């Protein structure tokens, strides 16, 4: 019987990988990886390892979740040492718990290697502290996937004062999210940031307020993957933004 290692790849910058993650990528026989795993992270995979892409994009799944579960079980029962590689942290909106439940039901050994989740990694690279004594004493993570055109979220809990709201996968539903926040009492001028490709060279940060953010994001042409940060901590972006994506060199 083999073993499955559920590994968090972080938000994109390979420098944010844990030492344990790097060792496992170099030793694995098979790596099953997701869409959000950056190409720079995959460079740590052993050239001898088999790579299997199991990515999911909005309305586009290479493999259904049940098929991924079956694949991991099959590889482990063949005696393989398998790395299941997920962007960010596998236990935060990564369905890592579901996959481990499937393995546990078959008596397959597994190990979890945490990763830097997008909320903390992307916010740090955007110069936005998720908590700050002057602005936010709590932080909440939610998923922004819409179902039937509506976001089924606990809106009253999201508009409380002195907190930061981080929304994963919320780009497509951003106009509805902003509308619902204001409808439930959030100030129209509440600061908000949307970060595309956080922590890698193509990072883009757009800031604004609930009332004007959908238009700003549309004009900027942002595309997934994006992370949305809502709260007064966004005011600190201009002061604390430290990450300067490298400029590509051109030859004459």
Q: Would you name the residues annotated as active-site residues?
A: 34, 56
Task: For residue 50, count other CB atoms closer than 10 A to its CB.
Answer: 14
Q: Which structure tokens are listed for 222? A: 């942002």
In 19-176 the beta strands, taken as DSSP E runs, fall at: 30-33, 50-53, 56-57, 60-61, 81-86, 109-113, 138-143, 163-168
DSSP state of 132: B
Instruction: Check whether the bond before 250 is cis (ω within 30° of 0).
Output: no
Report how far residue 82's alpha carbon sits from residue 30's, in angstroms, rounded to the nearest whole number: 5
């Amino acid at each position: 019987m083999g073993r499955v290692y559920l590994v968090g790849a972080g938000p994109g910058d390979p420098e944010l990988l844990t030492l344990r993650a790097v060792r496992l990528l170099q030793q694995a026989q098979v790596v099953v990886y997701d869409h959000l795993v950056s190409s720079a992270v995959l460079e740590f995979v052993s050239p001898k390892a088999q790579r299997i892409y199991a990515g999911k994009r909005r309305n586009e799944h290479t493999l259904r979740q049940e098929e991924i579960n079956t694949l991991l079980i099959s590889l482990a029962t063949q005696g393989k040492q398998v790395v299941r590689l997920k962007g960010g942290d596998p236990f935060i909106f990564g369905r890592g718990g579901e996959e481990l439940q499937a393995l546990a039901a078959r008596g397959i050994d597994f190990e979890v290697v945490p990763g830097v989740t997008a909320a903390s990694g992307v916010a740090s690279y955007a110069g936005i502290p998720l908590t700050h004594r002057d602005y936010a004493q709590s932080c909440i993570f939610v998923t922004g996937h819409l179902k039937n055109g509506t976001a089924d979220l606990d809106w009253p809990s999201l508009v409380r004062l002195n907190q930061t709201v981080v929304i994963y996968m919320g780009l497509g539903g951003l106009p509805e999210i902003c509308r619902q926040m204001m409808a439930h009492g959030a100030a129209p001028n509440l600061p908000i940031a949307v970060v595309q490709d956080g922590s890698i060279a193509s990072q883009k940060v757009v800031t604004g307020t609930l009332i004007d953010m959908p238009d700003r994001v549309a004009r900027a042409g942002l595309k997934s993957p994006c992370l949305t940060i809502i709260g007064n901590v966004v005011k600190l972006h201009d002061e604390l933004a430290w990450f300067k994506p490298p400029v590509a060199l051109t030859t004459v």
